[in-house]
Structure 1
Amino acid sequence: MKSHSAEMEETIALLEQEMWRDGIDLDLLGRYQRLCREREHAIARQGKDDRHEFLIVIPVADRPQHLAECLESLLTLCRTYEYGGCVQGRYPKVAVLIADDSGDLANIAQNRAIAAGFTRQGLETLYFGLAEQTELLRRLTAADSDRLAPIIGDTRQGALPHKGASITRNIAYLKLRELTRKDRRQLFYFIDSDQEFRVRVETPEGEQDLFAINYFHHLDALFSQREISLLTGKVVGDPPVSPAVMAGNFLTDVIAFLSRMAELEPDQSCRFHAGDRAPADEAAYHDMADLFGFKGARDAFPYRCTLDGGHDHVACFKAFARKLGHFFDGAHPTRKSHYQYKDPAASLSPARTVYTGNYIFRPGCLDYFIPFAPLKLRMAGPVLGRILKAELKERFVSANLPMLHKRTLRQTGQSEFRPGVCRTREVCDISCELERQFHGDLMLFAMEELTAQGYPSCPLTPTGIGPLLQETAETLHRKYLAKQALIGEGLTRLQALFDASRDGGEGRELGAASFDEQNWWNHRADLAEARGQFAAFIGNIERNFGSGAEGYALIGPGPNREQRLQAIAGAIFGYAGDRAAWESRDLG
């Protein structure tokens, strides 16, 4: 005979599957959440709860509003599912560590106040700012500080701001060593400040962001029932990659949008709504998805209008134009990803990439710091993932437990702070981010080759690394140049389409569309601002991806690439020594 708790578990599991059977059923979602809370109340009445405790670690740099929204989502998740119970308004099995890398004093003060505010609301939130980091680092001996410099950077002046996300995570690892309790079942959960504990789903009425995953319950079950050392999830919503590798496919979608608009009447009811769903296609946002084993999306993705209520194509045009600038902060108006249900246990699969905004591990995995952090390259998570795959093997897994990724703030349409992106009004320069992306890709593909040869277990020589890096750089550079050429072709088509009525372009063939009349958006006074936003977007694409783009000069043959290759070779060769220093028992 089944126990009451076993019957409840079975009921909740069946209800979870039923509520996703034909897309999300909001009525069943409410019932599911209530049953999950009832389960927590039943566990509390038993008086014993040996499930995992979670410490959520959030690195942040000058993003107080993102941070507040992230923590608000976590508090709502706790209130919705009550994992670990609620004791006198507090959630004893969930706590937060904010690792602050901010440089602005006002933002630092605000982040500290945010931590205190959420603690008062029942979510214990520890603030680990520059002063606290410096205090921890000064407890290291001078010798240890020198040995750990390839992991936590130069700390002779204490913790400085804007060290980068990887160094900040590694310093947070040192703090987690202090917070590790052998008498408790702990899991450390790293997320990014621009993420939330909910998922974005498509419904007939449009997109909805829902608290539809009981994250902590599922993770506790997975780590309790399986031999897992580190688990990574993914994200839904905005893509997890840089605009440096999304411009080509976004241009395709912008051209498709304008081509369709040219065939419609401006005052006609908007036709960019239901029925225009893009196909599910993992990594469809990435211009070079084939490099990572995915099929590149060849067709344009339709824009789905997000305006509510009755409106015409003029309103839709304005709304789309406002979104164009968001692209350079990493938002993709046409290729967002949506949550597709699959039971987390059934979704477990071997992993090769760590999504640094969504990964969970046992304290024993603190040995695996973010490698090569002082280089400040992108792709740190995939690089770490290749090392984990080589060493942890089946204990490194991925599960269908994504978080909502929101690159920009609703109020401004921009990110609060994004390293490598420089803005001056309408002008946006992402050349530094493109450079970090290219050399991060280079590091990743070199690491794939090296781990296939037995790295990091097998010793390497600096002379053996150099030729591999040179060959990888040349191959990757050709790929980047080919994509730049395609972006140039797309930009020419977009300029011709957008300006068709202003430069004698009537009747010009653009793909499948022929424009015999003047495009209506160029002759309406109420679209002056929208035209300016299109012009700014076109200018920024030309500036960052055109023939004279600074970013492409930085990744071509020359002093910058040579310096990068030398630094990467030295970091790869020194990794074994870095690991030995990190794992040293007398550290600190």
Structure 2
Amino acid sequence: MSVADSSLLSQLFERFAIEPSTEALRSAWLAKPHGSAADRVYRDALEWLERKLWSGGVQPELLALYQALFREFEQQRDADSDDRRHHFVVVIPVADRPEHLRSCLASLLKLCQLYRYGSYRDGRFTHVSVLLADDSEQHANQRSHREIAADFTARGLTTEYFGADAQRELFARLPVSSRSALQRMLGSGEPLHHKGASITRNLAYLHLASRLPAQPRQLFYCIDSDQEFRVRIDTAQGERNLYALNYLHQLDRIFTTTDAQVLTGKVVGDPPVSPAVMAGNFLEDVLGFLLRMAQLDVSQACQFHQPNGDKVSDASYHDMADLFGFKSEVARYDYHCTLDGAHDHAACFADFAVRLNRFFDGEHPTRHSYYEPAELHAGIQSARTIYTGNYIFRPSALRFGIPFASLKLRMAGPVMGRLIKAEIGPGFVSVNLPMLHKRTVAGLGQSEFRPGIEHGNDRIDLCGEFERQFFGDVMLFTVEQLTAQGYPARSLSNATIEQSLITTEGRMFELYSAKQVQILNKLERLESLFADPAQWWQAHPELVDARADFARFIANMQHNFGGGACGYSSIAEPAKRERRHAQMLSALCDLAADQDSWQRVLESLSPTGAMQAERTAR
């Protein structure tokens, strides 16, 4: 089939015949182009259709045409014997999350089916594969993950299972001296479960290095198991999750036409931020919900379906967003009821109450982010933060292993991003290709597994998460100070590094303590309002379960953020602070040595010349 025979292009031009902007496209199509000229017609038509797709809100029938036109374009290109597009290896660390993992891989397979990036031969997508790095503790989940990998391989998405045995074998291949030198990046080698996502990723990167082809055209696409290749949009009819972005095609174009070495996207849906630093703003929203409910009649038709006028940004989730250079202009966000059909405020109250305790697993019921369409290539920007669940890099960038991994601190991505920016500057970019983030599993109402969060019958404990977040913030802002002085390329004295660490730790402790005072004030107001016997929600027997959910939420907030909360105690206790201080100081002082050891191990594992060949292949 030639481009002139395209029924889809014909359909496009007939549908929009009266629009002057299609005249040049139509003329190029009627010229019956071949080869690269035909590719240009398809690209121009797809770019035009993409702009049309998002003008005035997404239109489902145009989305279907957009996807079909991409499939036809791929069919045209499949006959090209010199297809030099990139092969994507999607790297997914997973720990005891079979349901999350299945949804994640299902979304990738669906993306491949809808857009058909690369060749599809013998029932297999040839330009996309998956490396599944398992960090599970439960043998049943290890078995489930292995079976899921085999299932998706059988369905056309080649998925390699990189489990504990393969990780142990890789670790054993390293010289003893290298294992010792890289303990902060790889751990001790045992146990090989719940090592943490950063160590698991680093082991996966070594595995990738060991099998680099001599002439690579590869990109490594790192995501998390609780993400999907979709975007969430907000419409008058409510939220919708759509396969509206051809991630692989767009990334191939960016890495083909630019010198980017590392690229990061973001997420939409649930926040990438820990509940440890969202409690203040969520309490503000819960207070707002109850205050508004108190002014409404219980049997009145639900008034919580108004259009969402509050735009959620990077500043919206975080209690200390100003630390990152953001300023939130909205202090309180409204809840937007998710119930369909006719219902009253009692039903809305109960629906909101069910969602409250999901907050402790990272879901934010009042602040969801949505995809905001923009011209992609013009929007490429210099970056400073890695979103570890959505970043892509060339094989030569395997040299950027995740530092300080054995410390298991949060904020590993922002720390890594500052260090990458310090080294390659404009080679590190961000782009508007977010992935859908879903913290909880619908059937559970919580995450299958999340380190640092412990679930009891009614109690949810964030102590471990809180401690990892605090010291992760200390590490991040210490690194930010040090890179401003030329670190790590410029050698700084241990005394200089330690002084920066001490100063940052003191500042962060003051900020966390001040935020706790604000949280306690909001908690007191919330408890008083909720328990007020004059409020209608206290008088209705059908709301007994909803009241219990509210009471459990307040109790868990008190447990995790109130006076004597374990998280605050853990960051205030001198012995624990001294231990963390010593760990971080040693890691910062030895970073250059760790990076050198990492590079030597990469070179020892990589086939001769493979990483150098990649630098000249683009």
- Asked if Structure 1 and Structure 2 have the same fold, meaning a TM-score greater than 0.5 normalized by the shorter chain, the answer is yes
* 2:445 is aligned with 1:413: yes
Amino acid at match of 2:102: A
Q: Partner of 2:276 in structure 1?
A: 244
1:209 Cα deviation from its structure 2 partner: 0.3
Q: Partner of 2:168 in structure 1?
A: 134
In the alignment, the residues of structure 2 paired with residue 343 and residue 97 of structure 1 have an alpha-carbon distance, to the nearest angstrom, of: 31
Q: Partner of 2:557 in structure 1?
A: 541
Identity, in percent, stands at 50
In the alignment, the residues of structure 1 paired with residue 446 and residue 184 of structure 2 have an alpha-carbon distance, to the nearest angstrom, of: 33
Matches for 1:114-129 after TM superposition, within 5 Å? 114-129=148-163
In the alignment, the residues of structure 2 paired with residue 569 and residue 310 of structure 1 have an alpha-carbon distance, to the nearest angstrom, of: 59
Q: Partner of 1:15 in structure 2?
A: 49
Contact 2:532 2:538 in 1 (8 A): no
TM-score computed with the length of structure 2 as normaliser:
0.91
Matches for 1:542-561 after TM superposition, within 5 Å? 542-556=558-572, 558-561=574-577
In the alignment, the residues of structure 1 paired with residue 172 and residue 136 of structure 2 have an alpha-carbon distance, to the nearest angstrom, of: 20
* 2:285 is aligned with 1:268: no
**Displacement over 3 Å in runs of 4+:** 585-588
Q: Partner of 1:578 in structure 2?
A: 594
Amino acid at match of 1:134: R
1:179 Cα deviation from its structure 2 partner: 2.5
In the alignment, the residues of structure 2 paired with residue 280 and residue 540 of structure 1 have an alpha-carbon distance, to the nearest angstrom, of: 26
Q: Partner of 2:69 in structure 1?
A: 35
1:498 Cα deviation from its structure 2 partner: 0.4
In the alignment, the residues of structure 1 paired with residue 359 and residue 494 of structure 2 have an alpha-carbon distance, to the nearest angstrom, of: 39
Q: Partner of 2:124 in structure 1?
A: 90
Q: Partner of 1:170 in structure 2?
A: 202
In the alignment, the residues of structure 1 paired with residue 312 and residue 449 of structure 2 have an alpha-carbon distance, to the nearest angstrom, of: 30
Consecutive unaligned residues of structure 1, counting only runs of 5 or more, are: 502-517
Q: Partner of 1:48 in structure 2?
A: 82
Q: Secondary structure at the match of 2:41?
A: helix
Contact 1:276 1:303 in 2 (8 A): no
Contact 2:310 2:330 in 1 (8 A): no
Cα deviation code 1:274-319 (max 9, x no counterpart): 3243234333011100000000344210000111111111111111
Q: Secondary structure at the match of 1:138?
A: helix
Task: Assess, with a 3 A threshold, how the Cα gap between structure 1 residues 479 and 297 changes in structure 2: closer, same or farther.
Answer: farther
1:557 Cα deviation from its structure 2 partner: 5.4
Q: Partner of 1:151 in structure 2?
A: 185
In the alignment, the residues of structure 2 paired with residue 276 and residue 28 of structure 1 have an alpha-carbon distance, to the nearest angstrom, of: 24
Cα deviation code 1:462-519 (max 9, x no counterpart): 2222221111111111111111111111101101110112xxxxxxxxxxxxxxxx21
- Greater share of helix residues, 1 or 2? 2
Match of 1:70 among 104, 122, 142: 104
Cα deviation code 1:318-344 (max 9, x no counterpart): 110000010000000001100000122
TM-score computed with the length of structure 1 as normaliser:
0.95
Amino acid at match of 1:534: F
How many residues are paired up?
570
Cα deviation code 1:419-451 (max 9, x no counterpart): 000110110110111111010000000000100
Cα deviation code 1:208-263 (max 9, x no counterpart): 00000000000000000000000000000000010000000000100111111111
1:8 Cα deviation from its structure 2 partner: 1.3
Matches for 1:253-264 after TM superposition, within 5 Å? 253-264=285-296
Q: Partner of 1:565 in structure 2?
A: 581
Q: Partner of 2:60 in structure 1?
A: 26
* 2:407 is aligned with 1:391: no
Match of 1:484 among 503, 513, 516: 516
Amino acid at match of 2:64: G
- The alignment yields a C-alpha RMSD, in angstroms, of 1.2
Q: Secondary structure at the match of 1:183?
A: coil
Q: Partner of 1:349 in structure 2?
A: 381
Q: Partner of 1:510 in structure 2?
A: none
Q: Partner of 2:541 in structure 1?
A: 525
Task: Assess, with a 3 A threshold, how the Cα gap between structure 1 residues 339 and 276 changes in structure 2: closer, same or farther.
Answer: closer
Contact 2:221 2:393 in 1 (8 A): yes
In the alignment, the residues of structure 1 paired with residue 484 and residue 250 of structure 2 have an alpha-carbon distance, to the nearest angstrom, of: 33
